[in-house]
A and B are shown apart, each in its own frame.
Chain A
Amino acid sequence: MMYRYALRGRGDLAEWRNAARGFLGAGIAPDIIDWRTMDDADGLFGVADNELPEPLPHHVPASVPPAFIQLAESVICHSDPTRFALLYRILFRLVHDRHLLQMASDADVVAAQRMAKSVGRDYHKMTAFVRFKELPLPADVAGHRRFIAWFEPDHFIVKRVAPFFQRRFNDMDWLIATPKGSASWDGESLRTTDDPAEKPDLRDETDDLWRIYYASIFNPARLKVKMMTKEMPKKYWKNLPEAELIPSLIANAEASVLDMAKREASQPLPFHHRLQEAAAMVPEPVMPVAGTLAALKEQARSCTRCDIYCRATQTVFGDGPTDAKLMFVGEQPGDQEDLAGKPFVGPAGKLFNDTLAEVGIDRQSLYITNAVKHFKYEPRGKRRIHQKPNMGEVRQCRWWLTQELELIKPKLVVAMGATALFSLTEMRQRLEDVRGEPIAMEDGRVLFVTVHPSYLLRIPDEGRKAEELIRFREDMSRVKRLAA
């Protein structure tokens, strides 16, 4: 036998759910149910009896994954008359196959997803293309401003979309009328109905401003009509105030581009010349006295001695008092240093500061700088991967380090890592061979070699890392004694 069941079919899941529960409880197979909407049923077949079969004995109410309810809530809004049968077929199959919805290529699942997508698109287009028109309040009436819109959705989505407009247009009263129902807000409650509405006759002067904007923001040199109609199909145009301009904008596009090309650049107005003169009159900024550390730092800001500069954010110059007795030299700024413009402020800098504090060296009293003053890296997605500067770059940048040494004249210089050692001495030795002992330099200064703190951060083995941290701290204690 064949069951016939008619639904109002205006986007309400409850009526379908109620019927579907009844059929499922009686074990009725999908292919013997004829689902209809009441409009059809009334006109063509007389009123359907809408009686549900008796449930099977020992029947346990079926449960479904939440994803199905979500899908069904959306599919039920579709205007396709086959949606009820499709949903019931999926429901029926779900009883035996819990994973059905994950089978993205199953024909029923694909069909339901398509309907959901179409409803989603209709929802989205309604949020985009509703145009409110103001209905001015009578002169003697105070209260919220009032707006009315007319829209023609493809599916039964008014109730679904209404909360969006309530969240957005809270401080005004509004009504959205459509052939598939209406929604309204009066500052207190959101009301929806699924009765068809009549198109109101509305005017709003502000539409003129909007049309001016629409015409002016359009670039006639980039005509792409297909792209426009794909996203804003013609069926929506009749209710969009700006759409009446489209044919003439398209028709005149080529002429206006040609016209632009014909008009050659004219002579600038006096305004421009006055600006140019004023710019020429601006005095050069006061530069620090030549031969000071401040002057050197200023010069280094625009260093282009090697190519790293145009990839980095800025020069990261040394930092500390001009008369420091103790000077630390690292390799190059890292990600954080590059952004902040100061040396040793990232993770390695934090480790460095903590160790200094532990052994009792005052960071404020020392001068800290890098062998290379710009950050060299490779971009990798959202991050930057540190790249070791090559010897040529280190040699170019030594120009700055040498002058820093000459101006500050520290008694003790600490090279942290191989790059610093190379820059200070041109030595390319294993760190271990020279680490931890003071080395006399030609100019009377003392050099001390240790590892770079970022090396300590990269040791994967926790035990070894702890050992190396102790060694680094011992090195720093020795530095403290040597500097005293």
Chain B
Amino acid sequence: MKKSLKERLAILSDAAKYDASCASSGTVKRDSSASGGLGSTEGSGICHAYAPDGRCISLLKILLTNFCIYDCAYCINRSSSNVERARFTPEEVIWLTLEFYRRNYIEGLFLSSGIIRSSDHTMEDMVRIARELRTIHNFRGYIHLKTIPEASAHLIEEAGLYADRLSINIELPTDAGIGKFAPEKRPDNIRRSMGELRLKMEEMAEPTLQTKRRKKFAPAGQSTQMIVGADGASDATILGTSARLYGSYGLKRVYYSAFSPIPDSSKNLPLIKPPLMREHRLYQADWLYRFYGFDIGEITSSGADGMLDLDLDPKLAWALGHRERFPVDINRADREMLLRVPGLGTKSVKSILSARRFRKLRLEDLKRLSVSLKKVQPFITAEGWTPHRLGDRADLRAMFEPKPEQLSLL
């Protein structure tokens, strides 16, 4: 018997939840006020709800179908799994997107799919959904399409005309890992597809000769995801791969997804609690690389075996390993060095640089800028404050480590 729409919605959103990305930001500004229709995007995304897993729900994140001819060990939808299978028609996906959008539940659609019959067949249906949303229903909300690396170039090109973001998941950081866990996936194809997307985006960003207008091709760029903890890759390996992806393909984001037990799990994989803290540290390290001027080598060198310290955030861990660089004078240091002070973020550094032109800053000033004094104190000097060799204290690390949990009697 055919499953109802409700049943299929449950199956196909459950199947999509292992994709971490839910971003709806970074695309062009557009709205429906002048042209009619439905929807707008205004630069920063909106999280319309949060699930009890702490994740933002911004998009209707579903699969077109969870039937899949691939057998990737880590994936809930792999062909050898016994999960319930279902599929939507393109019309149903369009209807759900529009009705959810009208009630302000979502910013738009994140559509992905298992691969059925062939890559092109699947990609064609996904492109059709995006095209009809845009051209028939005048939908101006956000669309993120998962791209299938083996799909034909003309389909990818059309996808980029309608979607804000395209993404291809690399899933595992090494070619060997992909070979082992996702035997049908070809890492070289994934890299080549990402390269083609970057070339396409750059080509379209050039103003055309006649109109000087730039065409829009996936204006929110491309992103990818790596699963953390399914294979044996170290944090240094993972972050090294991220750095290469950012540099090579201009990715907007690399998402890290702690491997999470899935129903009917493959015997090759650990049924463990997802390493959430590790995932968190990887995001912090990724940020340090992209916005704080750190090299991957600097971030990962302090830990053993290329693993990040789980107890301390990577910036603090770096500072404790490089005490000779501290204390930093907040009234004189340049931006690069201020960014390396534990407890100072890009915003507080900006405020410090602005405020110190008018007066010498004291600790009270920092406190008003919502900087955690406990965290920055040992690493800075300010007007009226010197840390008195605090930076050399042997127990400095212990000051920041999480307190050991008290054991209770059985």
Q: Point out residues on A near B: beta carbons under 8 Å.
A: 99, 102-107, 110, 124, 127-134, 145, 147, 149, 164, 166-172, 204, 206-210, 212-228, 231-232, 240, 242, 246, 249-250, 253, 257, 260-261, 263-269, 271-272, 275-276, 279, 301-302, 310-314, 335, 338-341, 377, 379-384
Q: Complex: how many Å from CA A127 to CA B48?
A: 8
**B260 at interface (Cβ–Cβ under 8 A)?**
yes
Would you give the shortest CB distance from B371 to chain A, in whole angstroms?
10
Say yes or no: A103 contacts B104, CB within 8 Å. no
Say yes or no: B368 contacts A110, CB within 8 Å. yes
**B158 at interface (Cβ–Cβ under 8 A)?**
no
Contact of A221 among B99, B261, B359 (CB under 8 A): B261
Say yes or no: A128 contacts B48, CB within 8 Å. yes
Say yes or no: B262 contacts A168, CB within 8 Å. no
Say yes or no: A219 contacts B53, CB within 8 Å. yes
Q: 13 A-B residue contacts at CB 8 Å?
A: A105-B361, A107-B368, A168-B32, A213-B100, A217-B51, A224-B54, A266-B264, A268-B79, A272-B79, A275-B69, A314-B191, A340-B195, A382-B246
Kindly list chain B residues whose C-beta atoms are within 8 Å of the C-beta of A226. 54
Say yes or no: B32 contacts A103, CB within 8 Å. no
Say yes or no: B99 contacts A206, CB within 8 Å. yes
**B198 at interface (Cβ–Cβ under 8 A)?**
yes
**With A105-B365, A339-B195 in contact, do A210 and B54 touch (Cβ < 8 Å)?**
no
**With A222-B276, A265-B265 in contact, do A171 and B32 touch (Cβ < 8 Å)?**
yes
**B357 at interface (Cβ–Cβ under 8 A)?**
yes
Give 1 or 0 for each of B364-383: 1 = CB within 8 Å of chain A CB: 11101100000000000000
Kindly list chain A residues whose C-beta atoms are within 8 Å of the C-beta of B37. 170-171
Q: Complex: how many Å from CA A99 to CA B354?
A: 10
**B61 at interface (Cβ–Cβ under 8 A)?**
yes
Kindly list chain A residues whose C-beta atoms are within 8 Å of the C-beta of B351. 104-105
Contact of A265 among B264, B352, B364 (CB under 8 A): B264
**B192 at interface (Cβ–Cβ under 8 A)?**
yes
**B282 at interface (Cβ–Cβ under 8 A)?**
no
Q: Across the A-B interface, give the 8 residue pairs with the lowest CB-CB distance, nearest first.
A: A227-B54, A224-B54, A379-B247, A105-B365, A167-B31, A268-B80, A339-B195, A170-B32
Contact of A246 among B39, B52, B289, B296 (CB under 8 A): B52
**With A164-B42, A217-B57 in contact, do A224 and B276 touch (Cβ < 8 Å)?**
yes
Would you give the shortest CB distance from B31 to chain A, in whole angstroms?
4
Kindly list chain A residues whose C-beta atoms are within 8 Å of the C-beta of B243. 379
**B153 at interface (Cβ–Cβ under 8 A)?**
no
Binds A, one of B6-14, B119-127, B210-218, B385-393: B6-14
Say yes or no: A379 contacts B188, CB within 8 Å. no
Say yes or no: B50 contacts A231, CB within 8 Å. yes
**B81 at interface (Cβ–Cβ under 8 A)?**
yes
Contact of A314 among B188, B357, B365 (CB under 8 A): B188
Q: Complex: how many Å from CA A462 to CA B267?
A: 64
Contact of A128 among B17, B46, B184 (CB under 8 A): B46
Q: A217-B61, A261-B271, A265-B266 are in contact. List 5 more A-B contacts (CB 8 A).
A: A222-B260, A226-B54, A265-B81, A265-B264, A275-B71
Say yes or no: A223 contacts B13, CB within 8 Å. no
Contact of A208 among B6, B54, B267 (CB under 8 A): B6
**With A218-B17, A228-B50, A266-B82 in contact, do A133 and B103 touch (Cβ < 8 Å)?**
yes
**With A228-B50, A265-B267, A379-B243 in contact, do A209 and B366 touch (Cβ < 8 Å)?**
no
Say yes or no: A222 contacts B361, CB within 8 Å. no
Say yes or no: A216 contacts B14, CB within 8 Å. yes
Contact of A130 among B5, B53, B104, B366 (CB under 8 A): B104
Instruction: Report how many A-B pairs have Cβ atoms within 8 Å.
Output: 251
Q: Which residue of A lies closest to B348 (CB)?
A: A104
Say yes or no: B82 contacts A268, CB within 8 Å. yes
Would you give the shortest CB distance from B345 to chain A, in whole angstroms?
14
**B404 at interface (Cβ–Cβ under 8 A)?**
no
Say yes or no: A168 contacts B39, CB within 8 Å. yes
Q: Complex: how many Å from CA A15 to CA B33?
A: 29
**B96 at interface (Cβ–Cβ under 8 A)?**
yes
Q: Which residue of A lies closest to B69 (CB)?
A: A275
**B258 at interface (Cβ–Cβ under 8 A)?**
yes
Say yes or no: B262 contacts A240, CB within 8 Å. no
Would you give the shortest CB distance from B67 to chain A, in whole angstroms?
8
Say yes or no: B9 contacts A127, CB within 8 Å. no
Q: Complex: how many Å from CA A214 to CA B51?
A: 7
Say yes or no: A209 contacts B355, CB within 8 Å. no
Q: Which residues 1-43 of B sit at the A interface, judged by CB distance below 8 A?
A: 5-6, 9-11, 13-14, 16-18, 31-33, 35-40, 42
Say yes or no: A212 contacts B6, CB within 8 Å. yes
Q: Complex: how many Å from CA A220 to CA B82?
A: 20
Say yes or no: A216 contacts B52, CB within 8 Å. no
Would you give the shortest CB distance from B58 to chain A, in whole angstroms?
9
Q: Which residue of B lies closest to A133 (CB)?
A: B103
Contact of A124 among B6, B46, B365 (CB under 8 A): B46
**B174 at interface (Cβ–Cβ under 8 A)?**
yes
Contact of B368 among A105, A218, A268, A381 (CB under 8 A): A105
Q: Complex: how many Å from CA A416 to CA B50?
A: 59
Kindly list chain B residues whose C-beta atoms are within 8 Å of the C-beta of A149. 104
Kindly list chain A residues whose C-beta atoms are within 8 Å of the C-beta of B248. 313, 335, 338-339, 379, 384
Q: Complex: how many Å from CA A261 to CA B262?
A: 8
Kindly list chain B residues whose C-beta atoms are within 8 Å of the C-beta of A272. 71, 79-80
Kindly list chain B residues whose C-beta atoms are within 8 Å of the C-beta of A383. 247
**B328 at interface (Cβ–Cβ under 8 A)?**
no
Of the candidates A127, A217, A250, the one having the most CB atoms from chain B within 10 angstroms of its own CB is A217
Q: Complex: how many Å from CA A213 to CA B42?
A: 25
Q: Which residue of B lies closest to A220 (CB)?
A: B53
Q: Which residue of B lies closest to A190 (CB)?
A: B33
Contact of B38 among A171, A212, A338 (CB under 8 A): A171
**B399 at interface (Cβ–Cβ under 8 A)?**
no
Kindly list chain A residues whose C-beta atoms are within 8 Å of the C-beta of B11. 216
Kindly list chain A residues whose C-beta atoms are within 8 Å of the C-beta of B361. 105
Q: Complex: how many Å from CA A279 to CA B80?
A: 14
